[in-house]
A and B are shown apart, each in its own frame.
Chain A
Amino acid sequence: MTLWRIPLDSDEIEVPRGEVYILADRCKGCGYCIEFCPKKVLQFSKEFNAKGYHPPEVAKEEECVNCHFCEIICPEFAIYSVEVQTGES
Protein backbone atom coordinates (compact mmCIF):
# COMPACT_ATOMS: atom_id res chain seq x y z
CA MET A 1 0.00 0.00 0.00
CA THR A 2 1.36 3.43 -0.89
CA LEU A 3 0.75 6.22 1.57
CA TRP A 4 0.74 9.88 0.62
CA ARG A 5 2.36 10.67 3.93
CA ILE A 6 3.77 8.56 6.70
CA PRO A 7 1.27 8.40 9.59
CA LEU A 8 2.41 10.36 12.64
CA ASP A 9 2.14 7.33 14.90
CA SER A 10 3.76 4.90 12.46
CA ASP A 11 6.61 4.07 14.85
CA GLU A 12 4.14 3.14 17.61
CA ILE A 13 2.01 0.83 15.50
CA GLU A 14 3.08 -2.75 15.43
CA VAL A 15 2.02 -4.55 12.28
CA PRO A 16 1.00 -8.10 13.19
CA ARG A 17 2.67 -11.01 11.48
CA GLY A 18 0.81 -14.10 10.42
CA GLU A 19 1.65 -17.57 9.37
CA VAL A 20 -0.53 -19.29 6.78
CA TYR A 21 -1.45 -22.94 7.16
CA ILE A 22 -2.78 -24.79 4.12
CA LEU A 23 -4.72 -28.06 4.29
CA ALA A 24 -3.72 -28.98 0.74
CA ASP A 25 -5.93 -32.03 0.31
CA ARG A 26 -9.11 -30.07 1.01
CA CYS A 27 -8.34 -27.47 -1.69
CA LYS A 28 -10.28 -27.44 -4.97
CA GLY A 29 -8.10 -24.81 -6.59
CA CYS A 30 -10.62 -21.97 -6.97
CA GLY A 31 -7.86 -19.42 -6.38
CA TYR A 32 -9.97 -16.95 -4.36
CA CYS A 33 -7.37 -16.77 -1.57
CA ILE A 34 -4.60 -16.07 -4.08
CA GLU A 35 -6.57 -13.43 -5.99
CA PHE A 36 -7.97 -11.54 -3.03
CA CYS A 37 -5.05 -11.64 -0.60
CA PRO A 38 -4.44 -7.92 0.06
CA LYS A 39 -0.69 -8.53 0.38
CA LYS A 40 -0.42 -11.05 -2.47
CA VAL A 41 1.23 -13.56 -0.18
CA LEU A 42 -0.02 -16.66 -1.99
CA GLN A 43 0.51 -18.27 -5.40
CA PHE A 44 -0.53 -21.52 -7.09
CA SER A 45 1.88 -24.35 -6.34
CA LYS A 46 3.24 -26.59 -9.06
CA GLU A 47 2.37 -29.75 -7.16
CA PHE A 48 -0.99 -31.50 -7.32
CA ASN A 49 -2.98 -32.48 -4.26
CA ALA A 50 -4.73 -35.82 -3.82
CA LYS A 51 -7.73 -34.64 -5.89
CA GLY A 52 -5.59 -33.30 -8.73
CA TYR A 53 -5.90 -29.57 -8.04
CA HIS A 54 -3.08 -27.10 -7.53
CA PRO A 55 -3.38 -25.82 -3.97
CA PRO A 56 -1.92 -22.42 -3.03
CA GLU A 57 1.51 -22.03 -1.50
CA VAL A 58 3.06 -19.15 0.38
CA ALA A 59 5.27 -17.03 -1.86
CA LYS A 60 6.05 -14.09 0.43
CA GLU A 61 6.02 -15.44 3.94
CA GLU A 62 7.17 -12.24 5.64
CA GLU A 63 4.37 -10.15 4.03
CA CYS A 64 1.41 -11.81 5.80
CA VAL A 65 -0.26 -9.45 8.30
CA ASN A 66 -2.67 -12.07 9.68
CA CYS A 67 -5.80 -10.41 8.26
CA HIS A 68 -7.54 -13.84 7.95
CA PHE A 69 -9.11 -12.93 4.60
CA CYS A 70 -7.89 -16.18 2.97
CA GLU A 71 -9.51 -18.05 5.85
CA ILE A 72 -12.89 -16.38 5.48
CA ILE A 73 -13.07 -16.39 1.67
CA CYS A 74 -12.03 -20.07 1.33
CA PRO A 75 -15.12 -22.17 0.53
CA GLU A 76 -13.31 -25.39 1.46
CA PHE A 77 -12.06 -24.79 5.04
CA ALA A 78 -8.60 -25.42 3.60
CA ILE A 79 -6.56 -22.41 4.70
CA TYR A 80 -6.14 -20.38 7.87
CA SER A 81 -3.65 -18.07 9.45
CA VAL A 82 -2.26 -17.82 12.94
CA GLU A 83 -0.60 -14.81 14.49
CA VAL A 84 3.13 -15.11 15.03
CA GLN A 85 4.41 -13.63 18.25
CA THR A 86 7.38 -11.49 17.28
CA GLY A 87 8.54 -11.29 20.85
CA GLU A 88 8.94 -7.50 20.80
CA SER A 89 5.83 -6.67 22.77
Chain B
Amino acid sequence: MSKSAKGSHHPLDDLLRTDRIPHIWCPGCGIGTAFSACLMAMKASGIDLERTAMVSGIGCSGRGAGYVKLDSYHTTHGRAIPFATGMKLARPELNVVVFSGDGDLFAIGGNHFIHAARRNVDLTVVCVNNLNYGMTGGQVAATTPSGSKTTTTPVGNPEAPFNLPLLAFASGATYVSRWTILHSRELTESIEEGLVKKGFSFIEVLAPCPVNYGRRNRQRPMDTLRAYQEKSIIMNDADPTRLQIDFDRAIILGKFVDTERPTCVESYDRTCRPPMEPADEEKAA
Protein backbone atom coordinates (compact mmCIF):
# COMPACT_ATOMS: atom_id res chain seq x y z
CA MET B 1 0.00 0.00 0.00
CA SER B 2 1.09 3.55 -0.61
CA LYS B 3 1.69 5.87 2.24
CA SER B 4 -1.50 7.81 2.90
CA ALA B 5 0.64 10.93 2.59
CA LYS B 6 -1.06 12.71 5.48
CA GLY B 7 1.15 15.54 6.60
CA SER B 8 3.52 15.02 3.67
CA HIS B 9 4.08 17.62 1.02
CA HIS B 10 4.21 17.58 -2.75
CA PRO B 11 7.59 18.82 -4.01
CA LEU B 12 5.91 21.82 -5.66
CA ASP B 13 3.87 22.84 -2.61
CA ASP B 14 6.35 25.60 -1.77
CA LEU B 15 5.50 27.31 -5.10
CA LEU B 16 1.73 26.81 -4.80
CA ARG B 17 -0.92 28.69 -2.90
CA THR B 18 -2.01 25.40 -1.35
CA ASP B 19 -5.08 26.97 0.24
CA ARG B 20 -6.48 27.38 -3.30
CA ILE B 21 -5.72 23.79 -4.34
CA PRO B 22 -7.59 21.79 -5.69
CA HIS B 23 -7.72 24.14 -8.65
CA ILE B 24 -10.77 24.75 -10.85
CA TRP B 25 -9.50 22.81 -13.89
CA CYS B 26 -11.67 19.85 -14.92
CA PRO B 27 -10.66 16.20 -14.46
CA GLY B 28 -8.38 15.28 -17.37
CA CYS B 29 -7.60 18.92 -18.26
CA GLY B 30 -4.01 19.39 -19.39
CA ILE B 31 -3.48 22.87 -17.96
CA GLY B 32 -2.53 21.44 -14.57
CA THR B 33 0.28 19.42 -16.14
CA ALA B 34 1.51 22.39 -18.18
CA PHE B 35 1.39 24.52 -15.03
CA SER B 36 3.31 21.97 -13.00
CA ALA B 37 5.92 21.71 -15.80
CA CYS B 38 6.25 25.50 -15.69
CA LEU B 39 6.77 25.50 -11.91
CA MET B 40 9.26 22.64 -12.14
CA ALA B 41 11.19 24.50 -14.84
CA MET B 42 11.26 27.66 -12.68
CA LYS B 43 12.68 25.65 -9.81
CA ALA B 44 15.20 23.76 -11.93
CA SER B 45 16.48 26.78 -13.88
CA GLY B 46 17.93 28.34 -10.74
CA ILE B 47 16.53 31.80 -11.51
CA ASP B 48 15.91 34.03 -8.51
CA LEU B 49 12.28 33.29 -7.68
CA GLU B 50 12.09 36.41 -5.53
CA ARG B 51 12.59 38.35 -8.75
CA THR B 52 10.20 36.34 -10.87
CA ALA B 53 6.67 37.30 -11.79
CA MET B 54 3.96 35.31 -13.51
CA VAL B 55 1.41 37.09 -15.66
CA SER B 56 -1.73 35.58 -17.12
CA GLY B 57 -4.76 36.83 -18.94
CA ILE B 58 -8.32 35.56 -18.87
CA GLY B 59 -9.49 32.03 -19.47
CA CYS B 60 -8.94 28.65 -17.90
CA SER B 61 -5.14 28.92 -18.23
CA GLY B 62 -5.36 32.49 -16.97
CA ARG B 63 -6.13 31.09 -13.53
CA GLY B 64 -2.48 30.02 -13.34
CA ALA B 65 -1.37 33.35 -11.88
CA GLY B 66 -3.75 32.82 -8.98
CA TYR B 67 -2.23 29.51 -7.95
CA VAL B 68 1.47 30.36 -7.95
CA LYS B 69 3.06 31.59 -4.73
CA LEU B 70 5.16 34.26 -6.45
CA ASP B 71 4.43 37.79 -7.53
CA SER B 72 1.72 37.33 -10.10
CA TYR B 73 -0.73 39.33 -12.15
CA HIS B 74 -4.12 38.19 -13.37
CA THR B 75 -4.68 40.80 -16.05
CA THR B 76 -7.49 41.86 -18.35
CA HIS B 77 -8.45 39.69 -21.30
CA GLY B 78 -5.69 39.42 -23.92
CA ARG B 79 -3.47 41.93 -22.15
CA ALA B 80 -1.08 39.59 -20.37
CA ILE B 81 1.79 40.49 -22.73
CA PRO B 82 1.34 44.30 -22.47
CA PHE B 83 1.35 44.05 -18.65
CA ALA B 84 4.42 41.83 -18.80
CA THR B 85 6.17 44.18 -21.25
CA GLY B 86 5.52 47.13 -18.95
CA MET B 87 6.86 45.22 -15.99
CA LYS B 88 9.97 44.23 -17.90
CA LEU B 89 10.65 47.79 -19.07
CA ALA B 90 10.18 49.25 -15.60
CA ARG B 91 12.19 46.55 -13.82
CA PRO B 92 14.52 44.90 -16.38
CA GLU B 93 16.04 42.66 -13.69
CA LEU B 94 12.75 40.74 -13.25
CA ASN B 95 12.16 37.37 -14.88
CA VAL B 96 8.71 37.65 -16.37
CA VAL B 97 6.74 34.57 -17.37
CA VAL B 98 3.47 34.82 -19.26
CA PHE B 99 1.28 31.77 -18.71
CA SER B 100 -1.93 31.96 -20.67
CA GLY B 101 -4.17 30.24 -23.18
CA ASP B 102 -4.51 30.27 -26.95
CA GLY B 103 -7.69 32.36 -26.94
CA ASP B 104 -6.17 34.99 -24.70
CA LEU B 105 -2.78 35.20 -26.41
CA PHE B 106 -3.76 34.69 -30.05
CA ALA B 107 -7.34 35.82 -30.52
CA ILE B 108 -8.02 38.93 -28.41
CA GLY B 109 -4.31 39.35 -27.64
CA GLY B 110 -2.94 38.44 -31.06
CA ASN B 111 -1.64 41.89 -31.89
CA HIS B 112 0.16 42.21 -28.57
CA PHE B 113 1.84 38.88 -29.15
CA ILE B 114 3.22 39.70 -32.58
CA HIS B 115 4.50 43.11 -31.48
CA ALA B 116 6.18 41.78 -28.34
CA ALA B 117 7.89 39.15 -30.52
CA ARG B 118 8.87 41.83 -33.05
CA ARG B 119 10.39 44.02 -30.34
CA ASN B 120 12.01 40.94 -28.79
CA VAL B 121 10.90 41.78 -25.27
CA ASP B 122 12.72 39.48 -22.84
CA LEU B 123 9.69 37.37 -21.83
CA THR B 124 8.94 33.67 -21.59
CA VAL B 125 5.50 33.00 -23.02
CA VAL B 126 3.91 29.62 -22.25
CA CYS B 127 0.76 29.19 -24.31
CA VAL B 128 -1.55 26.35 -23.33
CA ASN B 129 -3.32 25.44 -26.56
CA ASN B 130 -6.49 23.45 -25.91
CA LEU B 131 -7.90 24.19 -29.38
CA ASN B 132 -11.06 26.00 -28.24
CA TYR B 133 -12.53 28.58 -25.84
CA GLY B 134 -12.85 26.21 -22.90
CA MET B 135 -14.04 28.53 -20.16
CA THR B 136 -16.96 30.07 -22.04
CA GLY B 137 -18.43 26.79 -23.26
CA GLY B 138 -16.27 25.45 -26.06
CA GLN B 139 -16.71 27.94 -28.90
CA VAL B 140 -14.55 27.84 -32.03
CA ALA B 141 -11.17 29.56 -31.52
CA ALA B 142 -8.40 30.81 -33.76
CA THR B 143 -6.59 27.52 -33.12
CA THR B 144 -9.43 25.03 -33.67
CA PRO B 145 -8.34 22.55 -36.36
CA SER B 146 -10.36 22.53 -39.61
CA GLY B 147 -13.33 20.19 -39.44
CA SER B 148 -13.47 19.99 -35.63
CA LYS B 149 -16.82 20.35 -33.94
CA THR B 150 -17.39 23.02 -31.34
CA THR B 151 -20.53 24.66 -29.92
CA THR B 152 -20.44 27.33 -32.63
CA THR B 153 -19.36 25.00 -35.47
CA PRO B 154 -21.69 22.03 -34.97
CA VAL B 155 -20.97 20.55 -38.40
CA GLY B 156 -17.22 21.18 -38.28
CA ASN B 157 -14.92 24.19 -38.37
CA PRO B 158 -14.76 25.58 -41.92
CA GLU B 159 -11.76 27.81 -41.14
CA ALA B 160 -8.05 27.10 -41.05
CA PRO B 161 -6.33 27.44 -37.67
CA PHE B 162 -3.30 29.52 -36.79
CA ASN B 163 0.06 27.81 -37.03
CA LEU B 164 1.38 29.28 -33.78
CA PRO B 165 5.11 28.44 -34.09
CA LEU B 166 5.12 29.91 -37.62
CA LEU B 167 3.41 33.06 -36.36
CA ALA B 168 5.95 33.39 -33.54
CA PHE B 169 8.87 32.74 -35.90
CA ALA B 170 7.63 35.19 -38.52
CA SER B 171 7.09 37.86 -35.85
CA GLY B 172 10.68 37.53 -34.69
CA ALA B 173 10.65 35.33 -31.56
CA THR B 174 14.13 34.09 -30.68
CA TYR B 175 13.02 30.78 -29.14
CA VAL B 176 10.07 28.74 -30.40
CA SER B 177 9.08 25.24 -29.40
CA ARG B 178 6.00 23.05 -29.20
CA TRP B 179 5.30 20.11 -26.89
CA THR B 180 2.28 18.31 -25.52
CA ILE B 181 1.50 17.61 -21.88
CA LEU B 182 2.43 13.98 -22.46
CA HIS B 183 5.98 15.08 -23.36
CA SER B 184 6.26 16.82 -20.03
CA ARG B 185 9.96 16.14 -19.49
CA GLU B 186 10.84 17.79 -22.79
CA LEU B 187 8.32 20.52 -22.02
CA THR B 188 9.96 21.25 -18.67
CA GLU B 189 13.41 21.39 -20.27
CA SER B 190 12.09 23.67 -22.98
CA ILE B 191 10.48 26.11 -20.52
CA GLU B 192 13.72 26.08 -18.56
CA GLU B 193 15.71 26.98 -21.69
CA GLY B 194 13.21 29.73 -22.45
CA LEU B 195 13.51 31.14 -18.92
CA VAL B 196 17.28 31.28 -19.06
CA LYS B 197 17.38 32.61 -22.61
CA LYS B 198 17.49 36.32 -23.24
CA GLY B 199 14.81 37.48 -25.64
CA PHE B 200 11.30 36.48 -26.53
CA SER B 201 10.73 32.76 -25.90
CA PHE B 202 7.51 31.09 -26.98
CA ILE B 203 6.52 27.60 -25.89
CA GLU B 204 3.27 26.13 -27.19
CA VAL B 205 1.79 23.33 -25.09
CA LEU B 206 -0.92 21.14 -26.57
CA ALA B 207 -3.36 20.16 -23.83
CA PRO B 208 -6.63 18.23 -23.87
CA CYS B 209 -9.90 19.96 -23.04
CA PRO B 210 -12.04 16.88 -22.38
CA VAL B 211 -15.21 18.66 -21.26
CA ASN B 212 -15.65 21.18 -24.04
CA TYR B 213 -13.50 20.13 -26.99
CA GLY B 214 -13.06 16.39 -26.45
CA ARG B 215 -16.70 15.67 -25.72
CA ARG B 216 -17.87 17.23 -29.00
CA ASN B 217 -15.20 15.44 -31.01
CA ARG B 218 -15.74 12.02 -29.41
CA GLN B 219 -12.44 12.07 -27.60
CA ARG B 220 -12.07 10.97 -24.00
CA PRO B 221 -9.07 12.53 -22.26
CA MET B 222 -7.14 9.29 -22.59
CA ASP B 223 -7.87 9.21 -26.36
CA THR B 224 -6.37 12.69 -26.72
CA LEU B 225 -3.21 11.60 -24.90
CA ARG B 226 -3.06 8.43 -27.02
CA ALA B 227 -3.30 10.64 -30.12
CA TYR B 228 -0.41 12.73 -28.78
CA GLN B 229 1.56 9.53 -28.30
CA GLU B 230 0.77 8.01 -31.68
CA LYS B 231 0.50 11.03 -33.97
CA SER B 232 3.38 13.13 -32.74
CA ILE B 233 6.74 13.32 -34.47
CA ILE B 234 9.65 15.00 -32.71
CA MET B 235 11.54 16.99 -35.31
CA ASN B 236 13.83 19.68 -33.93
CA ASP B 237 14.60 22.57 -36.31
CA ALA B 238 11.64 21.60 -38.52
CA ASP B 239 10.51 24.07 -41.14
CA PRO B 240 7.91 26.27 -39.33
CA THR B 241 5.64 26.31 -42.40
CA ARG B 242 5.02 22.59 -41.93
CA LEU B 243 3.75 22.82 -38.36
CA GLN B 244 0.01 23.07 -39.01
CA ILE B 245 -1.91 20.98 -36.47
CA ASP B 246 -3.72 18.19 -38.28
CA PHE B 247 -4.63 15.16 -36.19
CA ASP B 248 -5.39 13.15 -39.33
CA ARG B 249 -1.74 13.31 -40.31
CA ALA B 250 0.87 14.12 -37.71
CA ILE B 251 1.70 16.80 -35.18
CA ILE B 252 5.30 17.94 -35.28
CA LEU B 253 6.86 18.70 -31.90
CA GLY B 254 10.26 20.01 -31.00
CA LYS B 255 12.40 23.08 -30.71
CA PHE B 256 12.10 25.02 -33.94
CA VAL B 257 13.89 28.31 -33.42
CA ASP B 258 16.77 29.23 -31.12
CA THR B 259 18.55 32.38 -32.28
CA GLU B 260 20.06 35.52 -30.81
CA ARG B 261 18.91 39.09 -31.42
CA PRO B 262 19.26 42.28 -29.35
CA THR B 263 16.37 42.55 -26.90
CA CYS B 264 13.95 45.45 -26.68
CA VAL B 265 15.76 47.06 -23.72
CA GLU B 266 19.21 46.62 -25.30
CA SER B 267 18.17 48.20 -28.61
CA TYR B 268 16.43 51.04 -26.79
CA ASP B 269 19.49 51.80 -24.69
CA ARG B 270 21.78 51.65 -27.70
CA THR B 271 19.61 53.99 -29.78
CA CYS B 272 18.14 56.41 -27.26
CA ARG B 273 20.69 56.35 -24.42
CA PRO B 274 24.08 56.15 -26.16
CA PRO B 275 27.10 56.24 -23.85
CA MET B 276 28.30 59.81 -23.37
CA GLU B 277 31.33 61.09 -25.28
CA PRO B 278 34.15 62.31 -22.96
CA ALA B 279 33.59 65.90 -24.15
CA ASP B 280 29.89 65.73 -23.27
CA GLU B 281 30.71 64.32 -19.86
CA GLU B 282 32.94 67.34 -19.17
CA LYS B 283 30.15 69.68 -20.23
CA ALA B 284 27.67 67.86 -18.00
CA ALA B 285 30.09 68.14 -15.09
Residues of A whose CB lies within 8 Å of any CB of B are 19-24, 26, 28-32, 35-36, 51, 53, 57-58, 61, 71-78, 80
B182 on the A face (CB < 8 A): yes
- CB neighbours (8 Å) of B188 from chain A are 72
Name which residue of chain A comes closest to B26, CB basis. Answer: A28
Give per-residue flags for B1-17: 1 if the beta carbon is below 8 A from chain A beta carbons, else 0: 11111001011110010
For the complex with contacts A75-B33, A80-B10, 5 further pairs of A-B residues with Cβ separation under 8 Å are A32-B33, A32-B222, A75-B35, A77-B10, A80-B11
- CB neighbours (8 Å) of A75 from chain B are 25, 28-33, 35-36, 181
Number of interface residues of B (CB under 8 A): 35
Name which residue of chain B comes closest to A72, CB basis. Answer: B184
- Give chain A nearest CB distance to B90 CB in angstroms: 32
A53-B27, A73-B182 as given contacts; A23 in contact with B10, CB under 8 Å: yes
B140 on the A face (CB < 8 A): no
A28-B22, A72-B184 as given contacts; A22 in contact with B5, CB under 8 Å: yes
In the complex, are the beta carbons of B36 and A74 less than 8 A apart? yes
Complex CA gap A58/B22 in Å reads 22
In the complex, are the beta carbons of B222 and A21 less than 8 A apart? no
B37 on the A face (CB < 8 A): yes
In the complex, are the beta carbons of B184 and A21 less than 8 A apart? no
- Give chain B nearest CB distance to A26 CB in angstroms: 5
- Give chain A nearest CB distance to B47 CB in angstroms: 19
- CB neighbours (8 Å) of A23 from chain B are 5, 8, 10
